[in-house]
Amino acid sequence: MKKINILDYLYPPRCPVCDKPVLQKESHDGFCATCLGKLPIIRGKRCCKCGRALSDLEKEYCSDCLKYGLAHIYDKGLALCTYDDALRDMIYRLKYGNRSEYANALGKLLADSFATALKRAGAEGVVAVPLHEKRIRKRGYNQAELLAKSFCMHSGIPFYKHYVERVKDTKPLKSMSRPERQNNLKKAFKIGKNDVKLKVSIVIDDIYTTGSTIDALAEVLKEAGVHKVYFLTVAIGDD
């Protein structure tokens, strides 16, 4: 039997695309039907490295990975949607507009889309890109962690909240070049205290831009003995 949450009736969760409340009887996994249909979900051929939609179906890699692919420390990634104006607004509200609830619907969609493939690839545990505690205090939550929790709840893959910590409060990467990003992320992460040793892990974040953040995290994970680092994001730029 489906669990009924009274709060869903009093305060129905909002659709991540249009931001309107969606009643449970009209909800398609937390989205309105039309909004779910409008999401730019990547369904065609993907880049073998970063998972973005390929513009040239003859190729195996996107233009970004043809240029920088070999330098990546992560092994492979998957993204749910191609970044567009609607995704930009959605992620902005998720991060800064007090719409942490979007993470429930988005995490489920990530699980429905990718959990089987990731389990087949041996994924044993999930790590979210950590925020520095100063930012958590300011924002109240870490959106990557909420996405990871929802993904784990729906996929059954365990979440390791303290596997990696952010020890440096890095500047926002938005307007930085690739080398500036890499420099800014140096020594940003360290392995936390934990009893588990993962061999194959998934790193979850909201968006993939140049991959610098995921690489910085993958570097620390690999130094700690993780053999394979996959990533999963809600959005990624086009090819």
Binding site for Zn ion (CB under 5 A): 15, 17-18, 32, 35, 47, 49-50, 62, 65
As a residue count, the chain comes to 239
Residues 115, 150: contact at Cβ < 8 Å?
Answer: no
Q: Write down the least CB distance from residue 139 to Zn ion, Å.
A: 24
Q: How far apart are CA 126 and CA 228, in angstroms?
A: 12
Identify which of residues 49 and 95 has a Cβ nearer to Zn ion in the complex. Answer: 49
Identify which of residues 58 and 195 has a Cβ nearer to Zn ion in the complex. Answer: 58
Q: Write down the least CB distance from residue 52 to Zn ion, Å.
A: 5
> Apex CA 22: angle with CA 138 and CA 4, to 5°?
90
Q: Write down the least CB distance from residue 64 to Zn ion, Å.
A: 5
Identify which of residues 17 and 220 has a Cβ nearer to Zn ion in the complex. Answer: 17
> Positive or negative, the Cα torsion across 183, 161, 141, 238?
positive
Strand partners, 31: 28
Identify which of residues 169 and 238 has a Cβ nearer to Zn ion in the complex. Answer: 238
Identify which of residues 13 and 125 has a Cβ nearer to Zn ion in the complex. Answer: 13
Q: Write down the least CB distance from residue 68 to Zn ion, Å.
A: 9
Residues 170, 198: contact at Cβ < 8 Å?
Answer: no
DSSP 8-state secondary structure symbol assigned to residue 28 = B
Which structure tokens are listed for 75?
């092994």
Cα 85 to the center of its chain, rounded Å:
18
Strand partners, 76: 230
Q: Write down the least CB distance from residue 1 to Zn ion, Å.
A: 26
